């Protein structure tokens, strides 16, 4: 029996592929650079090669692999497996990614499915991570932008046309700053790593003292991690910026609680390295704002699978959907 699936996590910098078993355990993993500048054919070739390498590394024949799941950033046509819009890998727009990877792999009867990367990460956490028993799970991915995924009753919630879960683009200010999406005041503009660093830089330019001031004046790239480290070392502004980020995320979380009545809201991505300094204000803000009955029954926590979540979830969802379509 084909008791494994291969997950491919397509990122702007790296392609990760791994064999995952039916229990959600990673059997092998491979990572190769995406090299966006080399164009579509090269990227598709490397995705297929990474899947092949992961399979060989696991010591399995294709007869033991039930499906391949691809997690891709951007807006996708899930039924056709086509990338519609992908700002960071624009050359893939309009391409039937699932079909092209399948043709490159050239394995008979192999199901290849395409899924949004944040949806895949949410499903991964539901299947094999922090959300195993969750009935309604909502995941925020916190990075240079903010993404999201929703898993309801064990299934990814896609919405009517596959575009659901854009949690980063819920507005938290009526007249807020413009966002790349065309909206104003999106939580992503304020509470992504990019937004957090921008708020710190603005405070420094406004004359606030901080141990990061010199780096800002030099024009060095300040990262979220630098802000966290400064906060740990006692820097008041750095701590304030992180806590404010948590409050913004707490407002977004409150909206999510009111819409979905989730039992679990998870936060993933590099920014979660700030730990309770970020999570405590999220909880405080949601406690202050949300319906009490709903807040008392929701767990707000960090995701568990780290960088593997998208790969595991893409594999798990491919296993699930291939089993459904075969039956
Ligand atoms: Zn937006």
Residue 1 or 205, more confident: 205
Per-residue pLDDT reduced to its tens digit, 72-131:
999 999 989 999 998 889 999 999 999 999 999 999 889 999 999 999 999 999 999 999
Distance separating alpha carbons of residues 272 and 269, to the nearest angstrom = 6
Q: What is the pLDDT of residue 322?
A: 86
The pTM of the full predicted model, rounded to 2 decimals, is 0.95
Q: How far is the CA of 191 from the centre of ligand 1 (A)?
A: 12
Per-residue pLDDT reduced to its tens digit, 311-321:
999 999 999 99
Q: Which residues contact 56 (CB under 8 A, 6 or more apart)?
A: none
Per-residue pLDDT reduced to its tens digit, 205-232:
999 999 999 999 999 999 999 999 999 9
Q: What is the pLDDT of residue 325?
A: 62
Per-residue pLDDT reduced to its tens digit, 168-180:
999 999 999 999 9
User: The tokens 């995941």 sit on which residue?
Assistant: 139
Q: How far is the CA of 182 from the centre of ligand 1 (A)?
A: 6
Q: What is the pLDDT of residue 323?
A: 78
| Closest-CA residue to 147 (of 129, 161, 165) | 165
Q: How far is the CA of 248 from the centre of ligand 1 (A)?
A: 14
pLDDT band of 327, cuts 50, 70, 90: very low
């Amino acid at each position: 029996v084909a008791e494994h699936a291969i997950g491919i996590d397509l990122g702007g910098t790296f392609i990760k592929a791994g064999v995952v078993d039916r229990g959600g355990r990673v059997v092998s993993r491979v990572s190769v650079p995406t090299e966006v500048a080399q164009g579509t054919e090269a990227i598709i070739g490397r995705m297929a090669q990474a899947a092949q390498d992961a399979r060989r590394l696991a010591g399995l024949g294709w007869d033991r692999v039930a499906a391949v799941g691809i997690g891709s950033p951007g807006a996708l046509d899930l039924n056709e497996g086509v990338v519609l819009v992908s700002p960071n890998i624009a050359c893939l727009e309009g391409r039937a990614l699932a079909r092209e990877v399948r043709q490159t792999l050239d394995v008979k009867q192999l199901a290849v499915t395409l899924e949004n990367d944040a949806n895949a990460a949410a499903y991964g956490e539901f299947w094999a991570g922090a959300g195993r028993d969750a009935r309604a799970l909502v995941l925020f991915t916190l990075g240079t932008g903010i993404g999201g995924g929703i898993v309801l009753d064990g299934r990814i919630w896609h919405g009517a046309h596959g575009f659901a879960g854009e949690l980063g683009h819920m507005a938290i200010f009526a007249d807020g700053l413009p966002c790349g999406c065309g909206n104003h005041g999106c939580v992503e503009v304020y509470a992504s790593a990019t937004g957090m660093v921008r708020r710190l830089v603005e405070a420094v330019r406004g004359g606030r003292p901080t141990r990061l001031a010199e780096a800002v004046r030099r024009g060095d790239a300040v990262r979220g991690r630098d802000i966290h480290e400064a906060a740990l070392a006692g820097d008041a502004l750095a701590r304030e910026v992180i806590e404010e980020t948590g409050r913004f995320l707490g407002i977004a979380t409150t909206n999510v609680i009111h819409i979905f009545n989730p039992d679990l809201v998870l936060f993933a991505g590099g920014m979660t390295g700030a730990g309770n300094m970020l999570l405590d204000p999220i909880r405080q803000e949601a406690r202050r704002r949300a319906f009490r009955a709903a807040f008392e029954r929701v767990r707000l926590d960090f995701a568990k699978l780290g960088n593997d979540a998208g790969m595991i979830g893409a594999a798990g969802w491919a296993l699930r959907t291939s089993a459904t379509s075969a039956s």
